[in-house]
Structure 1
Amino acid sequence: MASEVSDGTAGNWSQDVYNALKSQGVTVVAFVPDGGMKEIIDLCLADKDMKTIPLTNESEGPTLLAGCWLGGAKGCLIMQSTGVGNIINTASMSEVCQFPLLALVSWRSSWAEGNRWQVPMGQRCQDYFKMAGFHTMRVSDVQDAGPSVAAAAEQAFNTLNGVGVFFSQRVMGVKRFLR
């Protein structure tokens, strides 16, 4: 089976998200490669003023961002909803240790999901983040992408809490699996 990402989204939401990260002073971006967030990751990689750190597993993200905060830097974790299960233990550290944890999540199974393996975690990931003490936001419209990330960053960095921003496939595009 081959896959392709549909181009059904309008606007340059990735640029808006990147601009929001910059406006909020984010200088460190940890990520697990993801097709839905590829353009945001590429913009961060191209920015000489941002430190981008590819992770081998999402569970490395929360502790890395805690260290960044202790060192005076603002960071962000970019991941897919299936990775939420990998970070639950370390993500809950944000609440206990009072450091901001801004997570941008490509929310699989949110709209026209074609891969059954994505559905269970996609349907539960926001609940898991809430159980770990996070505030969660959903982005289902491209016009809300930048403002939502700016608001989430402001909340995370000012309240020292975890905030997860979940990007619907209506925004990112739907992966089609061809037979």
Structure 2
Amino acid sequence: MEPTAGAWQDQVFDVLKQGRVRQVAYVPDAGHAQLIRRVHADPQLRGVVLTTEEEGIALACGAWLGGERAVLLMQSSGVGNCINMLSLVENGRFPFLALVTMRGEWAEFNPWQVPMSKAVRPCLEAMGVRVLCATHPDEVAPTVQAGVDAAFDAGEAVAVLLAQRLIGRKQWEGAR
């Protein structure tokens, strides 16, 4: 049985709410869809759709300067778009939290997703971002909580990688 969106995504929402996150920036992604819907349904949260992932880094830094906490949701392929902008986080010493749904790992049908998948962790670490990983549903909430604590209490830059296996096999009509 393949995993589907469910309890762990609701737990992530609860962790973000308890962590006083108020802004959630994202490029639309099926892996984050349930979380995004919950964000938009909550009047205490502001969901901000982005045209590209690096805009979310600027949004997160600006939110912090304005007294609010933000999180960036993205897919692993978007990490490559963020590398240069992560210098803002390091040079400004901003707390930063990203939740990254992985592609190119488990049961991937699209070969274009694989190279960035292999590069996500080393790229983030090279830019000074602590990388935490969750591969099973029962690991997600505690891992996201650790990310919230490290980012907003310790002032670190953190990315939580959510394994492709959590999301399940992505289907595409054009796949062989």
**TM-score category by the smaller chain?**
over 0.9
Q: Deviations over 1:92-145 (max 9, x none)?
A: 321221111100001111211111111010111111110110000111000111
- The CA deviation at 1:90 is 1.0
Aligned to 1:171: 166
Distance across 2 between alignment mates of 1:176 and 1:115:
10
Say whether 1:146 aligns with 2:134: no
- The CA deviation at 1:162 is 1.1
Aligned to 2:2: 8
Distance across 2 between alignment mates of 1:50 and 1:16:
16
Say whether 1:161 aligns with 2:156: yes
Aligned to 1:127: 122
Runs of 4+ displaced beyond 6 Å:
none
Q: How many residues align?
A: 173
Higher relative contact order (CA 8 A, sep 6+): 1
What SS does the aligned partner of 2:67 have?
coil
What 5-or-longer segments of structure 1 have no aligned partner? 1-6
CA RMSD after TM alignment: 1.3
- The CA deviation at 1:159 is 2.2
Say whether 1:105 aligns with 2:105: no
Distance across 2 between alignment mates of 1:133 and 1:120:
21
Match of 1:44 among 39, 51, 60: 39
TM-score for the superposition, normalised by structure 2? 0.94
Q: Is the 8 A contact 1:115 1:177 kept in 2?
A: no
Aligned to 1:3: none
What SS does the aligned partner of 1:109 have?
coil
What 5-or-longer segments of structure 2 have no aligned partner? none
Select the structure that is richer in strand.
1
What SS does the aligned partner of 1:163 have?
strand
Distance across 2 between alignment mates of 1:48 and 1:149:
22
Aligned to 1:4: none
- The CA deviation at 1:31 is 0.4
What SS does the aligned partner of 2:133 have?
strand
- Using the aligned pairs only, state the percent identity: 39
Distance across 1 between alignment mates of 2:157 and 2:89:
6
Distance across 2 between alignment mates of 1:161 and 1:18:
21
Aligned to 1:62: 57
